[in-house]
Amino acid sequence: MSILESIIMGAIQGITEFLPISSSAHLIILPWFFKIGEGNIDKLAYDVLLHAGTLFAIMLIYGKKFLNILLEGIKDLKQGMIKDSLISKIIIATCPAAIFGYLCKDFIEGYLRTPYITALMLFAVSILMIISERININKGEISYQVALLIGIAQAIALVPGTSRSGITITLGILLGLKRTQAVDFSFLLSIPIIFGTFLYELKHLHYQSDSIGVYVIGVTSAFFFGALSLKFLIGYLKKHSLDIFAYYRIGIALLILLFSKY
């Protein structure tokens, strides 16, 4: 893998990790389109480091807010008020994806990474996005029930083509959260999941020293483009709907179905 290819792969990881367009679909399609091979790198180690890049990006944007929520939760726990703590809701919402990912990882990798499943999930979540933008509930409350349902949605996002941010933001809106609330909760919720994934995959981290430049460039690219895409999405959704992402996903789904026949 060349330096330029590593920049492209890092950019793909960073952008698709946060935009609601499905990282799994793009990490299959775009490397094929750009003819990027693994070459002289350890693929598992490289993937671990790209996750580190996106973790740095999310912490740059939401790290301070997450730390404040964590400290408030600790303070509430000491005062016996943990029941209403946002951090406890984040923990509950994290459990479904952690359990589902641990128990079903091999099944997902072995049976669900197919063009048809990917296209189906791209299309299905797109329809939910379009529906969510045409209802107006706006309860504005992140209850434990809402947090758990969003957590289950995050677990479903392990299926290729779903998009973690896409399905969690969409379900948050469908459950009555304001769009900005749904976005913030979705990305706060992503911190323990991305961090947990990084720690779990850290055991694969053994890289070839002669390719260290490729790894460093990949991490830097994932961080840079991840931070940019996350800032863009936050600003964009303050004034615009999810529709453009839904239509884009439908287009990608059709392309996958078209090219899977050849």
20-31: average pLDDT: 80
| Residue 78 or 173, more confident | 173
Instruction: List C-alpha distances in Å: 63 to 148, 192, 218, 249.
Output: 22, 11, 22, 29
Q: What is the pLDDT of residue 240?
A: 92
197-202: average pLDDT: 80
Does the pLDDT at position 113 exceed 80?
yes
Lowest mean per-residue pLDDT among 29-43, 91-105, 235-249: 29-43
Which of 41-50, 113-122, 243-252 reaches the highest mean pLDDT?
Answer: 243-252
The pTM (predicted TM-score) of the whole model is: 0.90
Q: Determine the Cα–Cα distance for residues 118 and 140; give it in Å rounded to an integer.
A: 32
C-alpha Rg value of the chain to the nearest Å:
18
Q: What is the pLDDT of residue 81?
A: 66
Q: What is the pLDDT of residue 209?
A: 58
Q: What is the pLDDT of residue 41?
A: 67
Q: What is the pLDDT of residue 44?
A: 66
Q: Determine the Cα–Cα distance for residues 27 and 31; give it in Å rounded to an integer.
A: 6
Which of 87, 43, 249, 103 has the alpha carbon at shortest distance from 165?
Answer: 249
CB 229 within 8 A of CB 19: yes
Lowest mean per-residue pLDDT among 57-61, 127-131, 203-207: 203-207
One-letter identity of residue 37 = G
172-186: average pLDDT: 93
Q: Domain count of the chain?
A: 1
208: domain range? 3-259
136-143: average pLDDT: 81
